[in-house]
A = this chain, B = another copy of it.
Amino acid sequence: MDAIHSGWFSEIQNDLWPGQSFSLKVKKILHEERSKFQKIKILDTETYGRCLILDGIIQRTTKDEFAYQEMIAFLPLCCHPNPKKVLIVGGGDGGVSREVVKHPLVEEVYQVEIDDRVVELSKKYLPTMACGFNDKKLNLVVGSIVCSQGGSFWLDYNYIKKQMLNCSIHFPRVAYAVTSVPSYPCGQIGFVIGGLDKSSDFKDPVIKFSSSEIDAMNLKYYSSKIHSSAFTLPRWIEKNFYENEKPK
């Protein structure tokens, strides 16, 4: 179970999702290279469109990338009353910045990405994502930075709990939200969100966009209702993540 066999790409085995594997049927290998930091592969797939793969792990497919990009952008943006300046760490395909610049209150975006090859290849092969780099609000910096993101609660919720604990060292308010992305392991990805105001309730967006505003920003996944439900976790996870908090 590794890379491409008989026209199928299978994700490499990984300690984060042991004993399971997701595969996509490949139409064409568009590009393969080893950059200074990682192996980059761009595929055209039968049913998930173009697919960006880093070190054997699916990062984005054009079929479902909006579910990830919209949610990682608008969940924190809509928890903040006036998100004028935004820092994005990673996101070299450009899709997160594409979403962030849509928010009418955002004036300036700084994005730091470690690998300029991901940026360049995304501009060439994934233009519907890399269009995010064209906005005049955006300042892109290529540098070395560590970044982490929350996985699926189905895989290792102790790892997510640890991330939340680390986050809580700097942010008194920490929460975990989740979105459905079929090409990610277990069909979902999570987000750990931290805030400085202990009393804030991330589940209730500070800014609630109307349906027509959502449509004007061409958001396909995000809405204020989806925002709230993203923080609603299955009972066993809710107990596990928040059991030490006082009940509201």
Interface 0/1 of A13-31, CB less than 8 Å to B: 0000011111111000000
In the complex formed, the residue of B with least CB distance to A25 is: B19
Copies of this chain present: 2
Judge whether A214 is part of the interface by a CB distance below 8 angstroms: yes
Interface-central residue, A219, A228, A235, A236, by most chain B CB under 10 Å: A235
* A24 touches which of B8, B10, B19 (Cβ 8 Å): B19
- Least CB distance, A234 to chain B, in whole angstroms: 4
**A111 CB contacts on chain B under 8 angstroms:** none
- Least CB distance, A24 to chain B, in whole angstroms: 6
Say yes or no: B232 contacts A228, CB within 8 Å.
yes
Judge whether A226 is part of the interface by a CB distance below 8 angstroms: yes
**A178 CB contacts on chain B under 8 angstroms:** 180
**A170 CB contacts on chain B under 8 angstroms:** none
In the complex, chain A residues 176-211 whose Cβ is within 8 Å of any chain B Cβ: 178, 180, 182-188
Chain A, interface size category, equals 35 or more
C-alpha gap A8/B22 in the complex (Å) = 12
Judge whether A159 is part of the interface by a CB distance below 8 angstroms: no
In the complex, chain A residues 217-233 whose Cβ is within 8 Å of any chain B Cβ: 219-223, 225-226, 228-229, 232-233
**A82 CB contacts on chain B under 8 angstroms:** none
Judge whether A46 is part of the interface by a CB distance below 8 angstroms: yes
Say yes or no: A20 contacts B24, CB within 8 Å.
yes
C-alpha gap A180/B178 in the complex (Å) = 10
**A8 CB contacts on chain B under 8 angstroms:** 1, 21
Judge whether A67 is part of the interface by a CB distance below 8 angstroms: yes
C-alpha gap A47/B20 in the complex (Å) = 8
C-alpha gap A183/B22 in the complex (Å) = 10
C-alpha gap A101/B186 in the complex (Å) = 29
Say yes or no: A20 contacts B23, CB within 8 Å.
yes
